[in-house]
Amino acid sequence: MEPEAEDLVVNKSRTLYSPIEPYSTRYLKVSDVHTLYFEQSGKPDGHPVVFLHGGPGGGTSPNNRRFFDPEFYRIILFDQRGAGKSTPHACLEENTTWDLVNDIEKLREHLKIPEWQVFGGSWGSTLALAYSQSHPDKVTGLVLRGIFLLRKKEIDWFYEGGAAAIYPDAWEEFRDLIPENERGSLVDAYHKRLDSDDMETQYAAARAWTKWEMTTAYLLPNNDNIQKAEDDKFSLAFARIENHYFVNKGFFPSDSYLLDNVDKIRHIKTTIVQGRYDVCCPMMSAWDLHKTWPEADLKIVDDAGHSANEPGIAAELVAANEKMKALMG
């Protein structure tokens, strides 16, 4: 039995919950090629919530558990195809948005969960929208952060020179890996290198690609985040899988696919959290989603960039989950 709404303990400080360890860590084979790592933490008979990580290719981390009240939620984290502890690492074969949507369903069915809350930021927001539009009857609520709709103008902004207006120093390092005669499309030029037969070529491209994103992810640059680019295992999956999805336009049939299908999820209780100064996924996308879906609750964090770990964004994400608790209690 879940507690009655009036019995719920509300986290009024809106701070992250204390670190916790999972009570279960397992692997689920989802195809002849891919096996996914997944874990559960919090309350085994609590309200289920699935965390969708970013990238694609970013993988999960222990800190992701801390957005949720472990006394209320059954917290499910998993690494998407090719990411984190899932195998094979950095694999692009059978790795599309729709493969991931199907994987989420396979995981839900494997865990015998009738319906669950979905939580995702950045690429996780893209995947959360795609999943909920495909399976609206399985979603009790949505918490979305740093909206990314994978439209051409968003890719062009971040990878073809728009964001360079704000980070010209970091941009030059990203751009200069590519010879001048190949700079007509940096996404395509990086794709050629990230798909190279030479592993050192792949690693060099992966480091540069990852460093550009990690440098721009916070309002105030975070050195620990930037250092992730030096981890070749992390960078290779992050860069290869991201680039693979972007070259293929997210595997969506049209540029505005996620906006065009909002009617399928209009009834789902949703909170959108967006950093005002998000350079990776600029606020235009959250605003476009808000205009299409005014029923969703938009929270703009005026002193934040992209990362879920920035204090203002983390506070709004915790608050959004507290609000969901009250609705579901």
Point out the residues that are catalytic.
Answer: 122, 278, 306
Do 175 and 210 contact (CB within 8 A), yes or no?
no
Rounded-to-10 torsion of CA 287, 288, 291, 296? -70
Residues 6+ away with beta carbon under 8 Å from 101: 127, 130, 131, 134, 135
* CA 32 remoteness from chain centre: 25
Q: CB 137: neighbour CB atoms within 10 A?
A: 8
- Asked whether the beta carbons of 76 and 115 are under 8 A apart, the reply is no
CB atoms closer than 10 angstroms to residue 167: 16
Pairing of strands 139-145, 270-275: parallel
Task: Quote the CA–CA distance of 48 and 140 in Å, as a whole number.
Answer: 9
Phi, psi angle pair for 213, to nearest 5°: -70, -40
Q: Which amino acid is at 26?
A: R
Which alpha helices (DSSP H) does the chain contain, by range?
97-110, 123-134, 152-159, 168-176, 186-194, 199-216, 223-227, 232-247, 257-260, 283-292, 311-328
Tally of CB atoms within 10 A around 63: 12
Residue 223 phi/psi, 5° resolution? -65, -35
3-state secondary structure of 128: helix
Q: How many residues does the chain have?
A: 329
